[in-house]
Amino acid sequence: MRAALKQAIADIIPPLKDRLYDVQPPLEGAEEPYGVIALGEEIWKSAWAGYRQVIRLKLFAGDAGLDQADTWAEKLLNGLHHKRVKNADDSFFTLSYLGSREAERLEPSTGKACRTLRFGVHIPVPGAGDASSEADEWLQALTDWTGSLLGMPWTVYHTAWPSGPEDSAVMWRMTGCETKMAGASLYEVRKVYVGHISGPDTSSEQLAAVSLIEGLGSEVQLPIDASQRKYMSVAEVSADMQADAFLDGQLRLTLVQRRMRPAEEAALIRRVDIHPILK
């Protein structure tokens, strides 16, 4: 990840090429300008988002001053926020800008002023978001339906985020399940899902959310297995576009299916005798 991150930074700020150091610059000193990258804490977020690895970046602009460092910081913010970066092993990770607790600071060891930035990388739980993992059949059907509705360039995941999801991505996960009696011979199965919509910008996320809300609202039934006549119905669906796309999810969906109770076997009456006293 370090090598890919350094390359991504150097692509945006060419003067920093081969001048990005790990943790601290060389003890004999480094020629300015240069940058220092240090990995911070890993914070547990959730089963579907995994851990968040904090990355701290310090920019030393030298004689160009902090004005130059501010310009670089703005370019890096715009260029790296929600940036999908490819590792040497063809895996991916996505950067998110986390702000800065101390935008400018004076390094006590060198006496030099620097501009600081913080980025986050989500590290999934091993095996989470694996496309080959088996999903609940309702969840799999919902995932397939969403992919058909949105089409390209959207990629749809289920259960958990993978490492470095595509730039336009939707992820569905199940948050609850219950049954309710609907009559003497019927019962109702309800499942609640949360949908995460992560796009390159807010407008694309809103358009995708509206498409899903309208699509789910217009469908009388969603197929689970059409060949076996298995379907599910939409009970309610809503969107909160203020929610965090990656951590919380903007969509809330309840699906329902009515099922017949299985007939219970009972002993058959073979003969009825009437006692003489009761005649």
Q: Are residues 6 and 50 in the same domain?
A: yes
Q: Is residue 128 part of a domain?
A: no
Give the three-state DSSP class for 22: strand
Residues 153 and 186 reside in one and the same domain: yes
Whether 227 is in a domain gets the answer: yes
Residue 278 has pLDDT above 60, yes or no: no
Over range 24-33, report the average pLDDT: 78
Q: Has residue 37 been placed in a domain? A: yes
Same domain, yes or no, for 239 and 147?
Answer: yes
Q: What percent of the chain has pLDDT over 90?
A: 59
Domain that holds residue 148: 137-260
State the pLDDT confidence band at 142, using cuts at 50, 70 and 90.
very high
- Max mean pLDDT range (118-132, 175-189, 201-215): 201-215
d(CA 125, CA 131): 14
Give tens-digit pLDDT for 191-238: 999 999 999 889 999 999 999 999 999 987 898 887 778 889 999 999
| In a shared domain, residues 119 and 14 | yes
Instruction: Say which CATH number the domain at 181 has.
Output: 3.30.2000.10
Residue 126: asked if its preceding bond is cis (omega within 30°), the reply is no
pLDDT of res. 251: 97
User: Residues of the chain with pLDDT > 70: what percent?
Assistant: 92
267 inside domain: no
**98 and 159, same structural domain?**
no
Q: At which residue do the structure tokens 């998110």 appear?
A: 96
Number of folded domains in the chain?
2
Contact 117, 77 (CB under 8 A): yes
In this prediction, residue 105 has a pLDDT band, given cuts at 50, 70 and 90, of confident
**Domain identity same for 88 and 202:** no
| 24: in domain | yes
In a shared domain, residues 88 and 196: no
Tell how strand 34-46 and strand 20-22 pair up. parallel
Domain membership of residue 265 (yes or no) is: no
Considering the domain architecture, whether residues 40 and 87 belong to the same structural domain is answered as yes
Which of the listed residues 123, 158, 177 is the one where a domain comes to its end? 123
- Provide the 3-class DSSP secondary structure of residue 98: strand
Residue 130 lies in a domain: no
Instruction: Give the HSE-up count for residue 22: Cα atoms under 13 Å, Cβ half-sphere.
Output: 5
Rg (CA), the chain: 28
Same domain, 156 and 236: yes
Q: Is the dihedral of CA 124, 129, 130, 134 positive or negative?
A: positive
What CATH number has the domain bearing residue 100?
Answer: 3.30.70
Beta bridge partners of 257: 189
For 202, counting Cβ atoms within 10 Å of its Cβ (0-12 exposed, 13-18 middle, 19+ buried), the class is exposed
Mean pLDDT across the chain: 88
- Regarding whether 119 and 6 lie in a shared domain, the answer is yes
**Same domain, residue pair 169 and 90:** no
